[in-house]
A = this chain, B = another copy of it.
């Protein structure tokens, strides 16, 4: 049966696994590597997960679901399209930076999922993408025609944000707020040509 201690240990296992997957890649990581990293025996891992594939799925789905849910909560009650878009970006990058290993696995190992696991995560991905597209449509309604194709814009924004795992250093000078603000400005300035003032950016200081 599902004990509370079992759930806690599974959480810890997923966190450790995400770190190892992020460092060495999913396919390069063996279950023996994970056993070493977690302190659990090789056979013991299979008490918590069905397979290595399920391990990857759990990391991706849990964190993706969290991003989606946080986003909805933060956008709830906010009406201004520009502010909503900034909140979307800030939410994504905020979670990204505070869960770097997990989000690297989510961004980089999307193609490593198979079968039903892939189908399920892709459903969430479509939902999340649709949310961004709707936000962009709302921005266009409020501020006139966009300067770029909406679909290209959406994927470009995801590219800007998700590519961060290849270069962003959480210990460096660049804080999350600044990262989020910079990407928000580049994207919004380019997409609708708005002069972006610091006051319209949530949770930020002038840069």
SS class, residues of chain A in contact with chain B: helix
- Does A1 belong to the interface (CB within 8 Å)? no
- Does A138 belong to the interface (CB within 8 Å)? no
Quote the shortest CB–CB distance from A129 to chain B (angstroms). Answer: 9
A182 touches B203 (CB 8 A): no
- Does A196 belong to the interface (CB within 8 Å)? yes
Quote the shortest CB–CB distance from A100 to chain B (angstroms). Answer: 14
Q: Which of A37-45, A49-57, A64-72, A157-165 contacts B (4 or more CB under 8 A)?
A: A157-165
Residue interface bits A80-119, CB-to-B below 8 A is 1, else 0:
0000000000000000000000000000101110000000
Task: Pick the contact of A193: B163, B196, B204 (CB < 8 A).
Answer: B196
A187 touches B190 (CB 8 A): yes
Interface residue count on the A side (C-beta < 8 Å) = 52
- Does A170 belong to the interface (CB within 8 Å)? no
- Does A149 belong to the interface (CB within 8 Å)? yes
Residues of B with C-beta under 8 A to A121: none
User: Complex Cα distance A206/B191, Å?
Assistant: 16
- Does A77 belong to the interface (CB within 8 Å)? no
Given contacts A27-B25, A187-B186, A188-B190, contact A201 B149 (CB under 8 A): yes
A147 touches B25 (CB 8 A): no
Quote the shortest CB–CB distance from A177 to chain B (angstroms). Answer: 12
- Does A14 belong to the interface (CB within 8 Å)? no
The residue on B at minimum CB distance from A193 is: B189
User: Complex Cα distance A187/B159, Å?
Assistant: 12
Task: Pick the contact of A146: B147, B191, B203 (CB < 8 A).
Answer: B203
Residues of B with C-beta under 8 A to A183: 148, 152, 156
Closest 10 CB pairs of A and B: A159-B163, A190-B190, A189-B190, A186-B190, A27-B27, A151-B205, A156-B160, A148-B182, A152-B182, A159-B159
